[in-house]
Amino acid sequence: MHIPDGFLTPRVWVSLDVVSGSLLALGLRRVSAAFEEKAIPLMGVLAAFIFAGQMINIPVAGGTSGHFLGGGLAGALLGPWAGLVVMSVVLIVQCFLFQDGGAAALGANILNMGVVGSMGGSLFYRTAMGGLHGERRVFWSGFLSGWLSMVLAAGCCAVQLCLSQVVSWSAGLSLIVGIHALVGLLEGIVTGTVLQALSASRPDLVRLDQSRFTLKDGMVWMILLAILFAAARFASEAPDPVQKLLGLK
Amino acid sequence: MTHQWHDSYRHQITPAHHLDPRSKLFVGLLFIAVVLLTPRFTPVQAAGYPALILIAAALSGVRLRLLAVRFLTIMPFALLMGVSALFSHLSHQEWLGMLGKAMCSIAAMSLLMLTTPFPDLLRALEQLHLPRLLVMFLAFLYRYGGVLYEDAVHLERAWAARYFGRFWLRQWAHLGNILAALFIRSYERAERVFAAMQARGFSSGAAGVRLLHFGFSDAIFVCGGLLLLAAVRWGRFS
């Protein structure tokens, strides 16, 4: 899901760099205000944990393998803002050290896996925990958080590629989202199992989240997304993508 | 800890290794931006951008085979584009142009990182006024990512030795248990690390002993790089 450079048009990657950079700056402010000094190295090591967790490859099928992404888990454990910061740090290191994801496309990747993956994951986890009951509710909340965050992140990635007109809307959405809806099941299983195991052995670690998602944060997020989609509208002179997708033009 | 992927060239003595990381970062990112903002490659640009990469690789003493291996990271997207091109208006020239841009970007980032130790890059980012908290998280990730990776490999090996031939969906469920164990180890390690850091008088910021100095060679590198880049991008050759 790490978009390399060259696959997004300049208008798309520049606007996404601005949006993700602003959100990351906001996240850093929130984290430094909400977390104690002691939590800062802990978060750094937790970023290293997500990074190391992504290195373990598990066979999928036909000689291919997959790995854990961790956006939903970071969001569920650390909360929306700290999860965004941790995922951004992981993506920056992957981009610089391993060239996994482009430098110019870093904003797009942070938006997909940090903002949508981690912040979305936090929101889904909280909502599911509030709505579900029973002994396995931590697992199922984690499962939903992992699966939904991956599918939405993949959807976002597909939209960015479609806006850049490098893939068609039908092929892009069906291929990228379809594949990740299946792979996301595995992400959901892993996220749910990790949270279940942690809540059984170290329940104090499952309550690390100290950065609440307030109404003000929601407003800022909505405004930035509105700016993003307004900017994306000018990404090409072709007919409105939604109209094109629906076959209206 | 040795990061084999990018540390193999770290201790070489070449002109590129002596440059200030800020100048390399500036020229590298500018190169990527100029390449990506080029609408369509003319023949001069199609030959010129790779030539600049080759010059930089020669100055860095980096083998081209290593750069070629790194191009594999774009394969999933390249294949997706190839499949999708069957259903869209993407021409072969446009597809090749995208691949060319992606390769130039990967090569530039690879050369930057192969000639710049990561702690020096962090110091450069700090001096370029990136938020200190972000730089500190990056430093922690770099320092402990490898340590935790080794832990993860040990856990993976132990798990594989006990689990060969089982149903793969169950393997994924057990990956959750492995990661939970890794998480607890990481957390407890972080607590010990922080206590040790406090004992040594920890203050936030990137740790490193090398002081950055923008010298005459950096000025020549930046000016030369800009001139060559401008010549390839906007030069008119008949």
Residue-number span of the structural domain to which B170 is assigned: 130-199
Checking ipTM against 0.85, whether it exceeds it is: no
- Please indicate, yes or no, if residue A201 is contained in any of the structural domains: yes
Model confidence at B103, pLDDT cuts 50, 70, 90, reads: confident
The reply to whether B158 and B216 lie within a common domain is no
Same domain, B25 and B112: yes
Per the model's pLDDT, the better-predicted residue between A245 and B165 turns out to be B165
The pair of three-digit structure tokens given for residue A179, joined into one six-digit string? 């594949």
- Provide the CA A107 distance to its chain's centre, in angstroms: 12
Each residue's pLDDT tens digit, B120-144: 888 888 888 888 888 888 888 887 7
| Cross-chain Cβ contact B153/A55 below 8 Å | yes
From the list A211, A230, A228, A195, the residue with the least C-alpha distance to A70 is: A195
Give me the sign of the Cα torsion angle A90, A95, A100, A102: positive
Regarding whether B84 and B43 lie in a shared domain, the answer is yes
The answer to the question of residue B204 being in a domain is no
**Nearest CA of chain A to the CA of B26: how many Å?**
13
**Among residues A111, A34, A109, which one has the least CA distance to residue A78?**
A34
Q: Is residue B207 part of a domain?
A: no
Cβ–Cβ contact A236 with B under 8 A: no
To test the contact with chain A by mutation, choose from B95, B133, B185 the residue with the greatest count of A C-beta atoms within 10 A, namely: B133
Where b means 16+ CB within 10 Å and e means fewer, B121-140 reads bbbbbbeeebbbbbbbbbbb
Does residue A244 form part of some domain?
no
B77 plus B153 within the same structural domain: no
Chain A positions in Cβ-Cβ contact with residue B191 (cut-off 8 Å): 42
Enumerate residue ranges in chain A where pLDDT < 50: 62, 210-211, 236-249
Contact B136 A192 (CB under 8 A): no
Q: What is the pLDDT of residue B190?
A: 74
Helices (H), chain B: 4-7, 15-18, 21-37, 43-60, 64-70, 75-85, 92-114, 118-127, 132-163, 168-199, 216-234
A65: three-class secondary structure by DSSP: strand
User: What would the 3-class secondary structure string for A155-206 be?
Assistant: HHHHHHHHHCCCCCHHHHHHHHHHHHHHHHHHHHHHHHHHHHHHHHHCHHHH
In a domain, A32, yes or no: yes
Residue A35 lies inside a defined structural domain of this protein: yes
pLDDT score recorded for residue A44: 75
> For chain A, how many structural domains are there in total?
1
Q: How far apart are CA A43 and CA A52, in angstroms?
A: 14
Mark whether B21 and B109 lie in a shared domain.
yes
B216 and B134, same structural domain?
no
Report the alpha-carbon distance of residue B141 to residue B147 in Å, rounded: 10
**Is any Cβ of chain B less than 8 angstroms from the Cβ of A95?**
yes
Of residues B60 and A239, more confidence is placed in B60
Alpha-carbon span A5 to A178, nearest angstrom: 23
CB crowding A141-174: b at 16 or more within 10 Å, else e = bbbbbbbbbbbbbbbbbbbbbbbbbbbbbebbbe
* Same-domain pairing of B109 and B223: yes
A60 interaction partners in chain B (CB closer than 8 Å): 168
Taking CB atoms and an 8 Å limit, are B145 and A51 in contact across chains? yes
CATH number at residue A78: 1.10.1760.20
Residues B37 and B91 in one domain: yes
**A71-78 and A80-98 helices cross at what angle (nearest 10)?**
140
A1 CB within 8 Å of a chain B CB? no
Mean of the per-residue pLDDT values of chain B = 79
Contact B140, A41 (CB under 8 A): yes
B59: distance to nearest CA of chain A, Å?
20
Q: How many domains does chain B have?
A: 2
Give how far Cα B46 sits from Cα of A127, A146, B3, B67, B179, Å: 51, 42, 33, 18, 45
Q: Is residue B72 part of a domain?
A: yes
